[in-house]
A and B are shown apart, each in its own frame.
Chain A
Amino acid sequence: MSRTFLGMPPFPEAAAVSTQNAQLRANLTHATHTIRDKRARAVTELDDWAQLRQAGQEIKDHTLRHLDHYLLQAEKAVTAAGGTVHWAADAAEANRIVADLVRATGESEVVKVKSMATQEIGLNEALAAEGITAYETDLAELIVQLGDDLPSHILVPAIHRNRSEIRDIFRDAMGRWGRPAPDGLTDSPAELAEAARLHLREKFLRAKVAVSGANFIVAETGTLVVLESEGNGRMCLTLPETLISVVGIEKLVPSWRDLEVFLQLLPRSSTAERMNPYTTLWTGTTAGDGPSNFHLVLLDNGRTDTLADEVGRQALRCIRCSACLNVCPVYERAGGHAYGSPYPGPIGAILTPQLRGLQSEVDASLPYASSLCGACYEVCPVAIDIPEVLVQLRERVADQAPGHRLERAAMKSAGWLLDHPAAYSAALRTASRARGLLPRRLPLPGPAKAWSDSRDLPTLPEHPFRDWWNSRPNGEDGPKHDDGKTGKDSAAR
């Protein structure tokens, strides 16, 4: 539990290492292609997917536009239903609130449902510092926790591990955390799942406190919704006496009816199922059924900063389905750890720098961790235009980061050249004439070397196209051409 994402190198450096890891690449390629193909089939089943997607986008945008209203409505509804609402401005405050609530129960261990929000705030590490052990109960989270590893995918945090690696982790580590792995454990997924069942069941049965996140909060009713597959969520949400849910303030939807949109969009985008095996919905507390103490911790932690960017705020529509990760060619090759946060892949590249700010090297590198191919936007169930936000964030990085001064100077001089066609034409000709001097590999540092470490540079042609055009009959004069003539005074500003 000591590992954190703190101090990660910038994306290009981390990815330069991970792209060389053949096992990781094979695991990721297999897993992402499997799930992306399944998702495509699950989505094709619904001929109104585009309409569901539009509704999902509109509901989320509407909620964000009136977030203060819906937060207050949700607070009122949860409180009326017997829950207690806490507000946390940042990670430290959220961790403090949860730790205090756990201590108040007198317990020193909690069971946890997989939750992106608690990973984001580093809750497990914060609880450990207070002498409280948090047991992850989702199978993939268990694999990550037992392996002293970091999650690398939103839906399948151990996606970077294959079955034999998981078997080794279980054999080595389960005994230190509780019931050891059965003797003779093989690497069959069924046996590994059975080992997890046995290991965790005793923890579920004795747990008095659970910590969860939530996929949705319905503002009008105060209902929280958790989607899952394994039943660990139901165990945590049902058996303990105290339930603490840490939920980002963007997880609201206005009405009960809105669930008809998101409960169709999320499972098909996420696990590629018509419906995930288990969905739990609860509103406050119910006498005699489930936890008698319910605490909701509403988490800001950078979300209001994200909201303030009119382009970037669309990232708050995200329902954490991870479809964008599964289609991303960059994620597939770099792996989730290279993104330096619990939110990897395309959504991480726009969410992390907005939540944490662009100050650190890794966060400033994330907006560039994309070829802008647009596959993420295409599959996003709430139509987040991730490439648009990436470019918006690149602009912010270029504006603020001192490291970008040289680049800006280069862009400026290129810009001058491109706005002066006579000079531009001359430059093209000069380059063509010098082509014999230009090798196809460049040893000098900088962009040309980054290119030609793996790729040859193209050979320059004898003449640029414009020379051929001008040499055609009727070429140089005539009204068609304004090379160097109208170009100089440029366009109207």
Chain B
Amino acid sequence: MRVALFLTCVNDALYPDTGRAVVTLLERLGVDVDFPTGQTCCGQPQYNTGYRRETEPLVHRMAKVFAGYDYVVTPSGSCAAMVRDNYPRIGAKARAEGRGTALGKAADALVPRVVELTEFLVDVLEVTDVGAYFPHTVTYHPSCHGLRMLGLGDRPVRLLRAVRGLTLIELPGAEECCGFGGTFSVKNPAVSTAMGTDKVRNAASTGAEVLCGADNSCLMHLGGLLHRQDQPLRPLHIAEILAATEQDATATEPTETVIPA
């Protein structure tokens, strides 16, 4: 099984710990994972802001960079949804505009192989207990694209429940959007902030130490609010929890090494 990590541009640039955690986790589970460094961005920011034509080269790039892999695993529900939902549309529109079938074919070749991390663990590897240890209280925010477009359902929660030492606390209003929404967060900052503030308030009300998500973009937005408000709650990608083990915990100060401040 040839598996590629599609890390996403946000994680590559801003959240390398998430990428390292995915590699650690998958290798621990016996998966030989590759990171083709020709990867950049899936084009979601461009596409969702109305720049479809500007997205097209990135569709070609994604298809080419990830050609030949059985699975392309990404720790981002929204980037997975971008490929699965929108690449076929981008291909179809190019065809309808008389610009040939190459883009559509590139999309078709890539789309069925792209899976979100928790899908890959639960559906492909068929594991829910990944051998993780994380002695903290955690509340989980299911980001919209994972929840509604990919239909991740309870996969992330099942994975978290199997983590030893972890206490999962239900997040009130979990299914509501956090207000990130890509360029929405800067085009409509007032509403975005109002949504995020409510999400942060709900998360803080759980008393959990960690706000877990499967999309670092949402966590960047929520983390920015938490940091501004001096809240003790720490945002953390699910991969970093699932990668954590007892050895990590006993190595040094657990929260220092496992959870980026």
CB distance from B78 to the nearest CB of A (A): 9
The answer to whether B185 and A451 have CB atoms under 8 Å apart is yes
Interface residues of A: mostly helix, strand, loop or mixed?
helix
Instruction: Please report which residues of chain B, range 41-70, place their CB below 8 angstroms from some CB of chain A when the two chains form the complex.
Output: 41, 43, 45-52, 54-55, 57-58, 60-61, 63-65
- Of B19, B189, B195, B225, the residue contacting A330 (CB under 8 A) is B195
Which of B124-132, B175-183, B242-250 faces chain A?
A: B175-183
The answer to whether A491 and B54 have CB atoms under 8 Å apart is no
A467 to B20, CA, bound (A): 11
The answer to whether B60 and A421 have CB atoms under 8 Å apart is no
The answer to whether A411 and B49 have CB atoms under 8 Å apart is yes
Q: Mark B11-44, 1 if CB is under 8 A from A, else 0.
A: 1111111011001000000000011111111010
The answer to whether A65 has its CB under 8 Å from any CB of chain B is no
- A482 to chain B: which residues have CB within 8 Å? 36-38, 65
CB distance from B24 to the nearest CB of A (A): 11
A428-B13, A492-B102 known; A455+B193 contact, CB < 8 A: yes
A479 to B192, CA, bound (A): 43
CB distance from A133 to the nearest CB of B (A): 38
The answer to whether A408 and B51 have CB atoms under 8 Å apart is yes
Give chain A's interface residue range (CB within 8 Å of chain B): 35 or more
- B221 to chain A: which residues have CB within 8 Å? 455
The answer to whether A414 and B46 have CB atoms under 8 Å apart is yes
The answer to whether B13 and A407 have CB atoms under 8 Å apart is no
Which residue from chain B places its CB closest to the CB of A33 in the assembled complex? B173
A417 to B61, CA, bound (A): 12
CB distance from B223 to the nearest CB of A (A): 7
The answer to whether A85 has its CB under 8 Å from any CB of chain B is no
Q: Mark B181-199, 1 if CB is under 8 A from A, else 0.
A: 1111111111111111100
A378 to B49, CA, bound (A): 21
The answer to whether A453 has its CB under 8 Å from any CB of chain B is yes
Which of A99-107, A112-120, A394-402 faces chain B?
A: A394-402
Please name 13 pairs of A and B residues whose Cβ atoms are closer than 8 Å in the assembled complex, sorted by A: A15-B188, A333-B194, A333-B195, A373-B181, A412-B54, A428-B12, A454-B196, A457-B224, A463-B16, A466-B12, A482-B36, A491-B61, A493-B102
Please list the residues of chain B having a beta carbon within 8 angstroms of any beta carbon in chain A.
Answer: 7, 9, 11-17, 19-20, 23, 34-41, 43, 45-52, 54-55, 57-58, 60-61, 63-65, 86, 89, 102, 106, 144-145, 148-149, 175-177, 179-197, 220-221, 223-225, 227-228
